[in-house]
Structure 1
Amino acid sequence: MNISKEKSSIRGLEAQDVGRSLETKKKRKDPQQHKLHFHMDMELENDCAWKPKQGMTFDSEQCVYDFYNTYGERMGFGIRRDFCRKNKFTNQLICRLLVCNKEGFQKVDKRDPLAKNPRVETRTGCEARLYVKLDEGTGKFVVIDFKEKHNHDLVSPECAHMLPSQKKISTTQLDNEEQITNMFWTDAQMIMDYTQFGDVVTFDTTYKLNKKHRPFASFVEFNHHRETVIFGTTLLYDETTESFVWLFQNFLEAMSGKAPKTLFTDQDAAMAKAIPIVIPNTSHRLCTWHLMQNALKHVNCLFQDKGVKGVLNKFFFDIEDANQWKLEWAKILDKYDAHENHWLKLTFAVKEK
């Protein structure tokens, strides 16, 4: 159904509403008549409270939207706001049409035929809809028309959260002055990639620092072609345990509660404290690349004869037996008189990672 026909249909419904209103006014003295309009939190016997029905009433237009959007998530389709009408004098909303997000068809691209990459058609002319009108007597929105049938496949429940109307923007963390501190961002493709390749994740806060040394960090891993895929990104105000707890909580929420089995990070102590708080069942491991970079900063001058890599590579990659590892480590400390080196002590304490 095109837009002009849809609006004509709505006007027809409005005309019918006028007739219904006149009939209702005649019968206002009958107390039983009011029971025809039941509130959304009331459940009729042998009926589904979560499914729209003619006669349902809602306290506000936003309540209508939330109710229909929840229904859409449960059924597997997205929704959007369409036609509405407001009172000319008070500007109060008096009717609203909510439609399936596949209603209608895209308008012709104004760049056509010059457009090299025109947008792919995603709409199917679906006629599923929910139409509500304000009852001026009660101040509530009443369901006047509900069309349930769709002309396209519905998505599965596990993918419903990726529908446009179901996407949730994670809460941005603010400081005491209501200024933005931390931000986290992901999109539908990243979430889909995470469901396929998110068992092992690398979280890197050293990728890029801005002028105020605030890190732009990313959750990444490989796909089945050994290509790097990104699951989410964040801009952090600082690298405190509080910030990392906030970040991991939002990451977990965006990924429908699915925690990675293994998370690789650098040696950041605040991050190490946050991980067991939010994702206690995730195995926390240290990235060898980050370990080597830290070694170059802290003990490069200690191993001048063989170099850091020449000394530490075997501890990172070659020795598999735990007892042998400890024996070789003790020999290195003796040889370079490094028993009191602070960085080596810290690294030895987390050797299981």
Structure 2
Amino acid sequence: MVHVIIHDEAISKVSMEFETEEEAYNFYNTYAYNVGFSIRMSKGLKDKDGKMRDRTFCCSCEGSRGNDKRNVNVNSIVQKQGKYQVLEFIAEHNHVTSSPIKSHLHRSQRRLIVAQAAEIEMAEASGIAPKSSLELMARRASGRENLGFILDDCLNYIHTKRTIQMRARDTDAKMMEAYSNFGDVVCFDTTYRKNHDLAMLGKKPRTILTDQSAAMPKALEFRWPETYHRLCIWHMYQNAAKHLSSVFQKFLQFAPDFGDCIYEYEEEDEFINARNKMLERYDLKDNVWLHQQFKLKEKQALVYDRDVFCANMTTTQ
């Protein structure tokens, strides 16, 4: 009876193949959403090169009862000839699944996308309570079931953000000491009042990361003309969330495609081609903000700084 309302092609079958472990996980997670349960990664085995050879995904309740060691709702995959193949699939549960209309509440079905995280931060900075912010976002998404996260996720995100900020303040003294000793890379936050302390040390860094402040390029060119200037990717994502919020919410694949253009490509022509395909796929060829960002591509896309020392730093946060 579990599969009465599910199309046959959406159910795992032995010998079914996937290109990647992530693709197999997403397929099983979609199946779980339709049935009404949450999943998690279980045991896995890597080969001598550290690549995952086989992996078991299971219902989040599997193995939780000490007096019941049966395998329940298990999906096991094994790598064969470069692909992952389903080795075993057990559909039964030893518990009652939820109604599919409540599937959005399960942990494996929830996630915050970049645009939503940015909106949560802006709401908090404006004094809007998380619950009120969530209600507004849910109305725009035509219901909480379409939002992709719950209030607990919102509160956890805010807590994590505050914790990071507190730790950052505690590291000021260590930062000053490290800069006096090394001074190769500087992350410059134009909203932080103590930045002038760095300038007083009299050292010129090899690379500096800043937000997209209009005054920074001229100031840096005048003060440190030999220093390589990059833009903070975190701030760039924040701006993208503001200017492209509707695109992030409408297309789940846009965030990965956007991120690939920033991080993944080794050659400039690959980056240009990928960006053009992204603009075409999401009908953004006339987007003014994206065209403005393209003029700054040498300071944002990592393809342009492969030979520049940045100490693996891409953000001021």
Interval containing the TM-score (normalised by the shorter chain): 0.3 to 0.5
**Which structure's relative contact order is higher, taking Cα pairs within 8 Å and 6+ residues apart?**
2
Structure 1 or 2: larger strand share?
A: 1
* TM-score after normalising by structure 1: 0.35
Structure 1 or 2: larger helix share?
A: 2
* TM-score after normalising by structure 2: 0.39
